[in-house]
Amino acid sequence: MTQKTALIWFRQDLRLKDNPALHYATTNGYAVIPVYILDDESAAQWKMGGASRWWLHQSLQSVNSDLREHMIFRAGKADDVLTELIKDTGADAVFWNRCYEPWRVKRDKDIKQSLKDDSIEVETFNGSLLWEPWEILKDDGTPYRVFTPYYRKGCLKKKEPRNPMPRPERITYADHGTDTGQLGDLELIPSIKWYEQMETFWTPGENGAHARLETFLEDGFKGYKEDRNRPDRENVSRISPHIHFGEISPHQVWETIRAYGEINSIPEKDVDCYCSELGWREFSYYLLYHFPHITWENFQPKFNDFPWNAQESQDLERWQKGQTGIPIVDAGMRQLWQTGWMHNRVRMIVGSLLVKNLLIHWHRGEEWFWDTLVDADLASNSASWQWVAGSGADAAPYFRIFNPLTQGEKFDPEGEYVREFVPELKNMPKQYIHKPWEAGPLILKEAGVELGKDYPEPIVDLKASRERALKAFETTKKAS
Ligand SMILES: Cc1cc2nc3c(=O)[nH]c(=O)nc-3n(C[C@H](O)[C@H](O)[C@H](O)COP(=O)(O)OP(=O)(O)OC[C@H]3O[C@@H](n4cnc5c(N)ncnc54)[C@H](O)[C@@H]3O)c2cc1C
């Protein structure tokens, strides 16, 4: 009897360990044909940004090497590509791990139906969420809108996340005679080399993901709960791009965190806090699944007539370039530009300045992050921007406006984070590092800073812009 063959359609699961679709194929005797399809057309508005494409190229290279260079690379509409590949390779089945972006849900449903209609075996699996969004509902059958009951009552009480699956002991590759194409054909790497610093910072791929987690466990896990807010410290895991591309699954991270915590007597509060951050990721996907419009429409419609500043372009550009004259904001925006990643606390600070002090629509922030983050993720990015703007589910109330100066002093007390990313301020004394505009001429001179020349004057008056934002917020009260 000839062996059955299955296309394994890789997507946000670029790994061999704990890959349910691959596991299913190998344990059920299929010869596999791994395939990656770059489907920009179906993604439309949400086609991957520049930083994500850079990451994806490296990650595909890594997984293809683990697959002994058997991956087929194609660009085009996924349904057309799959139809053609089934014809060319004679595959009997198609298996994939599910994604939850609205455009993918719709596309994949259609593909699944048409494969079934053509009598091709099709199976889909959960490889990226600890709890399926449709499994967690309130007692009245409706979805949760608030994180704590969703996570504590809905998820944790429902069931423990499943254990990760092992890497297949043996993968048999189908002998299909079809041209695999080249990774380079996907043209993911830009011609201008703006990504050189990112190369020194990250190791995309399954091995890089596990190494990153290992480093965090040893150097940053203990003390996570308190120090996860400190951008000047190494107490966060920076695993987000690896999780986003599925180089490591949340199940693997969850299990590793819990096991390491127990064996090494890591305080329970650090373990629980880390797991609940994974819970925030789940909640973002949950919201995206149940309320797919949150990628662009206000979750709370009372924000629909919010008086955003229409004259935004100059301010927006200064914000994007890290030239706002507010050190902690500029440090964050430059960290993002240089490394493709920004510390969570600083994401909240730069977001608050944009949508509240500058009254610029959260869409502009969402779009910029989408293009520049290596962990750009439709679920977490849209939910987080709506959270920052106050328009989201369980969001920070709009009137809670971060003061970037006091945030800087609290979370980067020595100014080390600012000094790293805003080197023109490196000689400023600690008292003024977060507010150079308050330093006298002598201090500025000694630090070698001329405001307006070496470093910008602040983009807004923080107090006046706060008042302006609160006034603008009044309109949402009338609308509710
Ligand atoms: C405006 C804004 C935009 C954001 N955009 C994204 C995005 O596009 N992609 C993205 O992955 N995260 C996003 N986040 C959430 C968060 O900032 C990052 O997940 C986190 O900084 C990643 O760093 P880490 O891996 O060191 O996190 P850790 O603190 O080590 O946390 C571990 C993991 O938990 C998850 N996580 C932690 N915090 C959050 C959170 N608030 N929301 C959702 N998941 C979380 C991530 O998967 C993270 O890797 C955004 C936050 C804000 C405020």
DSSP letter string, 159-176: -PPPPPPPPPS--PBP--
Q: Nearest 5°: phi and psi at 96? A: -150, 165
Q: Region 296-323: what's the mean pLDDT? A: 93
Binding-site residues, ligand 1, Cβ < 6 A: 228, 236-240, 243-244, 277-278, 280-281, 284, 344, 347-348, 351, 369, 373, 375-377, 380-381, 384-385, 388
Mean pLDDT of the chain: 96
Residues 6+ positions from 243 with CB-CB distance below 8 Å: 209, 249, 250, 253, 281, 375
Pick the catalytic residue: 297, 308, 416, 437?
308
| Dist. CA 245 → ligand 1 center (Å) | 14
Which candidate in 123, 255, 277, 312 is catalytic? 277
pLDDT tens for residues 226-244? 999 999 999 999 999 999 9
What is the pLDDT, as a whole number, of residue 479? 63
Give the phi and the psi of residue 124 in degrees, each rounded to 5: -125, 155
Q: What's the pLDDT at 289? A: 98
pLDDT at 18: 98
pLDDT of residue 297: 97
Mean pLDDT on 89-117: 98
3-state secondary structure of 186: helix
Is 19 in the active site? no
In the block, tokens 């994500």 appear at 52
DSSP string covering 231-277: TTSS-S---HHHHHTTSS-HHHHHHHHHHHHHHTT--HHHHHHHHHH
- Look up residue 446 and give its two tokens: 């000694």
Q: Report residue 37 as tokens.
A: 């399809």
Mean pLDDT, residues 56-73: 98
- The per-residue pLDDT for 477 is 76
Round to whole Å and give the CA distance between 389 and 382. Answer: 10
Domains annotated on the chain, with CATH: 5-127 (3.40.50.620), 129-163+206-290 (1.25.40.80), 301-479 (1.10.579.10)
Q: Which two tokens stand for residue 364?
A: 């502009």
pLDDT at 480: 59
Tell whether the model's pLDDT for residue 259 goes beyond 90. yes
Confidence of residue 310 (pLDDT cuts 50, 70, 90): confident
Q: In whole angstroms, give the CA distance from residue 32 to residue 18.
A: 16
Mutate which of 254, 285, 384 to test ligand 1's pocket (most atoms within 8 Å of Cβ)? 384
pLDDT, tens digit, 9 for 90 and up, residues 347-364: 999 999 999 999 999 999
Give me the pLDDT at residue 397, please: 80
Structural element, H or E, at residue 43: helix 40-43
CA-to-CA distance for 449 and 443, rounded, in angstroms? 9
Comparing 188-192, 250-254, 325-329, 414-418, the range with the smallest average pLDDT is: 188-192
Closest approach atom of ligand 1 to CA 284: 43
Query: Best of 239, 349, 375, 411 to mutate for ligand 1, by most ligand atoms within 8 A of CB?
Result: 375
135 is catalytic: no
Q: Model-level pTM? A: 0.98
